[in-house]
Amino acid sequence: MAQSNEARSQAPRLGAWVEGGSTVRWRVWAPGHKGVDVVLYDAEDRVLRKLPLTPEADGCFGGALPDLGEGARYKLSVDGGDPFPDPWSRSQPKGVHGPSEVVSSDNGWTDSHWKGPDPRALVIYEVHVGTATPEGTFEAFIPKLAHLRELGVNTLELLPLASFPGARNWGYDGVDLFAPQATYGGPRGLRKLIDAAHAHGLAVLIDAVYNHFGPDGNYLRAYSPHYFTGKHHTPWGDAVNYDSEGSRFVRSLVLSNVEMWIRDYHADGLRLDAAHAIVDDGQPHLLAEIVERAHAAASGRRVVVIAEDERNERKLVTPAAEGGYGLDGVWADDLHHQLRRAFAGDHEGYYQDYTGSAEDLAATLRQGWFYTGQKSKNLGHARGTDPKGLGPWHFVHCIQNHDQVGNRPFGNRLSEDVSPAAYRAMSTLLLLSPFTPLLFMGQEWNARTPFLYFTDHNAELGKLVTEGRRKEFSGFSRFKGEEVPDPQDRDTFTRSTLDWDELDGADARGVHTLYKELLRLRATEPVLTSRQGTHDARAVGPDAFVLERRAEGDTLLVIVNVRGSLVHTLPPHASAGIVAWSENPRYGGTVEGSPLTGNVVRLEGPSAAVVKLRE
């Protein structure tokens, strides 16, 4: 039975924190256990002393020690057993198996002027901190912020930061939600990056994983069996317990984490991983509470909460007052899949659900997503809801992201599978659509470095991960006979490091110019910036389509040709002017003259033209 609202209320504060400047207080949830001790360590991991905690209400144990303060290191021993890290730890300086560390939230912030992002005008840049620079740290990325701002990006999205096992990982195997990864620079490094981002006018979103915990370093069950439930199951096993016995504390784990990212780290919002796997049969749903808590923690700043969710479910972004969850955005991958089918020919797995036809591409652009209740061949059941009436800014679109690159066996980027001309055409559509664009790091110069799947697990688990990864792709015809890179091999990680020197190449500079000029157009052209603007899309032949943006009496057309030759005649009564074309030599293309002659647009092969009409 789902719990009542009263039973789902906020649990007491847990973890370790500093009071009065130097006193450290602990509270641990360990229901059903007789005792909990805090085991204190020095910097060399030698035991200093033990502090027995006092039983409190609701299965908690608490206590305090004076004259410790920030930097104190400790583990927790339940019923006299081996000590483990605190699952509510704010820092794990020696990894997920080492002692936890007490940290304070004071950073000497300089961003008091910062008001947060406009959810209707986001341009998101997705970054994996560990491979974004050779150093792989928060502070090493700070010098890149000026590049992003000059590009026209206004929001940085960081792949998961919660402490994970080993030194290299995508971040989705995190086990300590509150502890930013030590090898990235830990709490201090993250605060410096966010403070610097705000100084550059960039918002920062954090990718948060609340649908599962990683297996290595996961000590939750040592404290309570109620962190997980057999009532629901996910692809990662038993679901996190959000609606059964003990769920009040588990929900508090998540909601306190949301609050920490926004309040203590000044993050501007969250991207929720696989929200469809956050299972909660109670009311209010955890997703709605996450949104509410994030906004409350911001103290008047604007924050955004975006979900990755495969269901095409309008309820996610419907306001809470209308029975929805009130999220600001949702990843809508249908356009990516249609474009991959059209330009790259992908057809296996979930791509079998897409034709890539001009008609279906136009339908996806009209709606925001393609599946609105039709049966999915891949899933075997109906998928999606009608998005009519939802603002297009709610839909996050991409032509690349960490999943769509990294979940390919060789981590190949889009450039491996489509021509440079197709890449420019797809980019033009993405950057000038009414939807929220997301770029994957390096996309703005058509980076050639792969983004492979990599891990740093212990030998036993690592072997299983390697075997599972290779088995996963054994049924795909295009990969047969090729050995999938070993996720555990350090070379798999280092090969994924972004090469910023590529920007010096002529081809990269052309694509980079395309991205800068189109993002500038997106931010300044009244047809694109108007809040009263409308859009439509239609096929103009079997292999071409038009996205139409209208506002204040003007119209902007993005005409995209997938293949072959296109001759498209514009309305005779309109005054037409060319704004940009993807095959302009400035961008690396081969078409010197404008594709617009009079009121006729001519495109050859994969290409896009941007035309402004005035009545």
pLDDT tens, position by position, 378-395: 999 999 999 999 999 999
pLDDT at 474: 66
| Same domain flag for 538 and 569 | yes
Q: Is 218 annotated as a binding residue?
A: no
344 with 483, same domain: the answer is yes
- Is 272 assigned a ligand-binding role in the annotation? yes
Q: Are residues 258 and 369 in the same domain?
A: yes
pLDDT in tens, 223-274: 999 999 989 988 887 899 999 999 999 999 999 999 999 999 999 999 999 9
Tell me: do 95 and 242 sit in the same domain: no
pLDDT band for 4, please (50, 70, 90 cuts): very low
Count up the domains in the chain and report the number. Answer: 3
Q: Per-residue pLDDT averaged across 139-158, rounded?
A: 98
Question: Is residue 275 marked as binding?
Answer: yes
User: Do 217 and 260 reside in the same domain of the chain?
Assistant: yes
Residue 422 lies in a domain: yes
**260: region left, alpha or beta (phi > 0 left; psi from -120 to 50 alpha):** alpha
CA angle 70, 76, 78 (to 5 degrees): 160
The CATH number of the domain holding residue 606 is 2.60.40.1180
Q: Which residues of 449-481 are buried (b: 16+ CB within 10 A; e: fewer)?
A: bbbbbbbbbeeebbeebbeebbeebeeeeebee
Residue 601 to residue 596: CA distance in whole angstroms: 5
pLDDT exceeds cutoff 70 at 477: no
Clarify whether residues 394 and 303 are in a common domain.
Answer: yes
Q: What residues are paired with 612 via a beta bridge?
A: 556, 577
Q: Is 353 annotated as a binding residue?
A: no
Last residue within a domain, chosen from 488, 519, 550: 519
Classify residue 84 by its DSSP letter: B
- Please report whether residue 133 resides in a domain: yes
Residue 512 placed within a domain: yes
> Is 508 annotated for ligand binding?
no
Q: Is 335 annotated as a binding-site member? A: yes
Give the total residue count for the chain.
Answer: 615
* Residue 606 maps to a domain: yes
Kindly state whether residue 108 falls inside one of the protein's structural domains. no
User: Does pLDDT of 309 surpass 50?
Assistant: yes
pLDDT digits (tens, 9 = 90+) for 349-360: 999 999 999 999
- Report CA 523 to chain centroid distance, whole Å: 23
Q: Which helix (H) or strand (E) holds 523?
A: helix 506-524
Check pLDDT > 90 for residue 169. Answer: yes
CATH of the domain at 185: 3.20.20.80
Q: What is the DSSP string of 460-481?
A: HHHHHHHHHHHHHTTT-GGGTT
With respect to residue 302, please indicate whether it lies within any of the assigned structural domains: yes
φ/ψ (deg, to 5) at 440: -95, 140
Torsion of CA 397, 146, 263, 60, to 10 degrees: 80
40 & 81 share domain: yes
583 and 474, same domain (yes or no): no
Q: Is the pLDDT of residue 6 over 60?
A: no
Tens of pLDDT, residues 493-502 = 999 999 999 9
My answer on whether 356 and 452 are in the same domain is: yes
Q: Is 403 annotated as a binding residue?
A: yes
Residue 51 among known ligand-binding residues: no
**Is position 407 annotated in a ligand binding site?**
yes
The number of beta carbons lying within 10 Å of the beta carbon of residue 108 is 7
Q: Shortest CA distance to 452 belongs to which of 402, 417, 415, 379?
A: 402
Q: Is residue 562 part of a domain?
A: yes
Instruction: Report, as residue numbers or ranges, the catalytic residues.
Output: 273, 308
Query: Is 350 found in the same domain as 471?
Result: yes
Q: Which domain holds residue 606?
A: 532-614
Burial class of residue 531, CB neighbours in 10 A (0-12, 13-18, 19+) = exposed
